[in-house]
């Protein structure tokens, strides 16, 4: 469906605009609201993680939850990520809907085994669904250093059985989290920390879900497609605006939103439409989302291309601490504009 899908996604959002009351929320508050909505709606939903209870979480996503839902449903755990995820697997098998919080996405490494070996393969091996969400505060840009800045989504795309989502707007953060909680599979929910308080937007009230697996058309264009997700969407959107002014270029921006399942139709129809593709993400380059999207396009839409598919990503280095080093690694607006200019001129 593609342009159709992506357009539909946008239309759906527009429809929601018209039908349900909205107000401006931060990306962070939208995540909190999704959790509240689902915990009010469904008593099997509960939060489990480190410091999520009385303290309200390292980023305050669950601030005030203990007061509303009680400590048993906002469960503070020992510092043990495998215990958080493994216990969530067991609870999910028994009919609960756990939402695990990793304090930082980086710490998923300490719970990796339960996620990739137990949770992800359970349905394939045993026919048992594991409905659980793993919230992963991810991304850099604030001198978090190598252990508080990673974007580990590609690890999970390599693990059949896991769904992976990465919203870039407040509305999608809410709608995708609701969908993730209702999904009967383990879902890795990547929430970019730099967007927490920086991104604000109109968010529908109520409990409408944004379906997993549908990309969002951010802005339409015919000269070049930038396919992005997470923090890179914001940069792409700005680059498109500025280059429209500077060069009169019509750049299409697609926000993937879901990485597994990937909206292949949206990607291919945009590629077919513009013939020039830049895939952009903050995560490292090799064997990443960009590589997957580029391979998909070259396999399925090669004859429609007017230029090689290009990638704008972090290089294959850990995320360094010092601001100038970090800036040198994370894709910046100027990098995005330059990559677009090169492709436009190709």
Partner 1 sequence: MASTPLASTRMNSTSAARTRPEDLHPRRGYDLLPEDRERLLRFMLMMRFSEERALALYKQGKIPGSFYDGCGQEAISVGAAYALAPEDRMCILHRDLGAHFVRGLTPDRYLANYMGRSGGVTAGKDGNLHFGAPELGCVGMVSMLPDMALVASGMSLAFKMRGEPRVAMTFFGEGSTANGQWHEAMNFAGVQRLPVVFILENNQFAYSTPNSLEFAVDPIDRAKTYGFPGISVDGNDVEAVFAAASEAVDHARAGDGPALIECRTMRMHGHGAHDDMSYVPPGLLEEWRERDPIDRYAERLLDEHGFEPEAIERLRAEVREQVEDCARTALASPMPEGASAHEGVFADAWRELGDGEAPWSRWADRQVSR
Q: Are 38 and 207 in contact (CB under 8 A)?
A: yes
- Based on the shown chain and the rule CB under 8 A, indicate whether residue 54 belongs to the binding site for partner 1: no
CB 26, min distance to partner 1, A? 31
For partner 1, which residue of 7, 63, 109, 123 counts as binding (CB under 8 A)? Answer: 123
Q: Which of 333, 343, 319 is nearest to 234 (CA)?
A: 333
Q: Which of 204, 180, 182, 198 is nearest to 190 (CA)?
A: 180
- Based on the shown chain and the rule CB under 8 A, indicate whether residue 211 belongs to the binding site for partner 1: no
For partner 1, which residue of 124, 142, 302, 346 counts as binding (CB under 8 A)? Answer: 124
Q: Between residues 4 and 128, which has the closer beta carbon with respect to partner 1?
A: 128
Number of residues this chain uses to bind partner 1 (CB under 8 A): 40
CB 299, min distance to partner 1, A? 19
CB 244, min distance to partner 1, A? 40
- Based on the shown chain and the rule CB under 8 A, indicate whether residue 127 belongs to the binding site for partner 1: yes
DSSP tally for the chain: helices H, then strands E = 13, 14
For partner 1, which residue of 148, 163, 192, 311 counts as binding (CB under 8 A)? Answer: 163
**Matching residue, tokens 């495998």:** 82
Q: Out of 123, 148, 198, 281, which one is annotated catalytic?
A: 148
Q: How far, in whole angstroms, is CA 117 from its chain's centroid? A: 22
Transcribe 229-278 into DSSP letters.
-THHHHHHHHHHHHHHHHH---EEEEE--EEETT-HHHHHHHHHHHS-EE
284 Cβ contact partners less than 8 Å away, ≥ 6 residues apart = 151, 154, 313, 314, 315, 316, 317
CB 83, min distance to partner 1, A? 4
Among the listed ranges 127-135, 223-231, 243-251, 326-334, the one in contact with partner 1 (CB under 8 A) is 127-135
Task: Give the footprint of partner 1 on residues 89-108 (CB under 8 A).
Answer: 89-96
Q: Which of 190, 162, 132, 141 is nearest to 261 (CA)?
A: 162
Q: Between residues 86 and 145, which has the closer beta carbon with respect to partner 1?
A: 86
CB 120, min distance to partner 1, A? 9
Residue 235 tokens, joined: 């940069």
Other C-beta atoms within 10 Å of 47: how many? 24
Q: Does the annotation count 148 as an active-site position?
A: yes
Among the listed ranges 20-28, 34-42, 125-133, 233-241, the one in contact with partner 1 (CB under 8 A) is 125-133
- Based on the shown chain and the rule CB under 8 A, indicate whether residue 131 belongs to the binding site for partner 1: yes
Task: Give the footprint of partner 1 on residues 72-91 (CB under 8 A).
Answer: 72-73, 77-78, 80, 82-83, 85-91
- Tell me the C-alpha distance between 141 and 28, whole Å: 17
- Based on the shown chain and the rule CB under 8 A, indicate whether residue 184 belongs to the binding site for partner 1: yes
For partner 1, which residue of 12, 22, 51, 121 counts as binding (CB under 8 A)? Answer: 121
Q: Between residues 128 and 328, which has the closer beta carbon with respect to partner 1?
A: 128
Q: Residue 61, class by beta-carbon neighbours within 10 Å (0-12 exposed, 13-18 middle, 19+ buried)?
A: buried
Among the listed ranges 120-128, 192-200, 283-291, 319-327, the one in contact with partner 1 (CB under 8 A) is 120-128
CB 309, min distance to partner 1, A? 27
Q: Which residues of 110-149 are buried (b: 16+ CB within 10 A; e: fewer)?
A: bbbebbbebbbebeeeeeeebbbbbbbbbbbbeebeeebb
CB 276, min distance to partner 1, A? 33
Q: Between residues 112 and 321, which has the closer beta carbon with respect to partner 1?
A: 112
Residue 256 tokens, joined: 């993937």
Q: At what angle do helices 3-19 and 264-274 cross, to 10 degrees?
A: 110
* Interface ranges with partner 1 (CB under 8 A): 46, 72-73, 77-78, 80, 82-83, 85-96, 113-114, 117-118, 121-131, 160-161, 163, 184-185
Point out the residues that are catalytic: 148
């Amino acid at each position: 469906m593609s342009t159709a899908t992506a357009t539909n996604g946008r239309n759906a959002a527009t429809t929601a605009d018209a039908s349900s009351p909205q107000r401006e929320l931060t990306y962070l508050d939208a995540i909190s609201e999704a959790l509240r909505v689902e915990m009010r709606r469904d008593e099997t939903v509960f939060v489990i993680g480190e410091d999520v209870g009385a303290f309200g979480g390292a980023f305050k996503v669950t601030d005030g939850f203990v007061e509303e839902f009680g400590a048993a449903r906002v469960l503070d755990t020992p510092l043990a990520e495998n215990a958080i995820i493994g216990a969530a697997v067991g609870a999910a098998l028994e009919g609960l809907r756990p939402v695990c919080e990793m304090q930082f996405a980086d710490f998923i490494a300490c719970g990796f085994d339960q996620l990739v070996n137990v949770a992800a393969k359970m349905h394939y091996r045993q026919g048992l669904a594991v409905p659980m969400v793993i919230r992963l505060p991810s991304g850099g840009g604030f001198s978090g250093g190598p252990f508080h800045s990673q974007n580990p989504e590609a690890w999970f795309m390599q693990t059949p059985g896991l769904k992976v989502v990465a919203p870039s707007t407040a509305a999608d953060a809410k709608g995708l989290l609701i969908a993730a909680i209702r999904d009967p599979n383990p879902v890795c929910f990547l929430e970019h920390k730099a967007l927490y308080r920086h991104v604000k937007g109109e968010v529908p009230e109520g409990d409408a879900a944004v379906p997993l697996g549908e990309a969002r058309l951010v802005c339409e264009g015919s000269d070049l497609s930038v396919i992005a997700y997470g923090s890179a969407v914001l940069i792409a959107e700005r680059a498109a605006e500025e280059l429209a002014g500077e060069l009169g270029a019509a750049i299409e921006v697609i926000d993937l939103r879901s990485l597994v399942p990937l909206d292949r139709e949206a990607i291919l129809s945009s590629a077919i439409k513009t013939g020039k593709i830049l895939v952009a993400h903050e995560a490292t380059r090799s064997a990443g989302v960009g590589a997957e999207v580029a391979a998909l396009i070259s396999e399925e839409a090669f004859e429609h291309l007017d230029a090689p598919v290009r990638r704008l990503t972090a290089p294959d280095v850990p995320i360094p601490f010092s601001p100038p080093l970090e800036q040198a690694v994370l894709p910046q607006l100027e990098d995005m504009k330059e990559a677009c200019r090169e492709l436009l001129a190709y």
